[in-house]
Amino acid sequence: MKIGILGSGMVGQTLAAGFLKHGHRAMLGTRDTDKGTLQDWRTKNPTAQVGMFEEAAKFGDLVVLCSLGRAAVEVLRLAGPDNLAGKTIIDTTNPLAGTPPVEGVIAYTTGPNQSLAEQAAQPHCQSL
């Protein structure tokens, strides 16, 4: 199976390597295909491909969203709704706001009863 990974950080690289290990084809999608952290990974995983988010979304029979949670809606927009239509998307993101905890409370980008997937499915995001 061809797996398109939307995100090229530690989670995306780890999952892509696992898919490759089990005989699947994988493409990491990123904003910057030349970023330094990908060079070692490409060397260790020579059968993997790296492309822009749109290319990875087109490539994958299955798509895995592995971006920062606060960037998820933008990454899906860059991947392109036509490239995602009809495909199963596995969402590994979490809605951490990226700010330090205040009195032990972690800030989120979503409400207490809403997931990032629900947020992305809202009407204002439908035209990603």
In the chain, what are the domains? Answer: 2-94 (3.40.50.720)
83, 58 contact by CB (below 8 A): yes
Instruction: Write down the residue that tokens 């989670």 correspond to.
Output: 11
CA 104 from centroid of its chain's CA atoms: 28
- Which candidate, 35, 36, 44, places its Cα nearest to that of 14? 44
**In degrees to the nearest 10, what's the CA dihedral of 74, 29, 92, 46?**
-170
Q: What is the pLDDT along the chain (128 residues), one digit of tens a residue?
A: 999 999 999 999 999 999 999 999 999 999 999 888 888 889 999 999 999 999 999 999 999 999 988 888 899 999 999 999 999 999 898 877 788 888 988 887 777 777 777 776 665 455 44
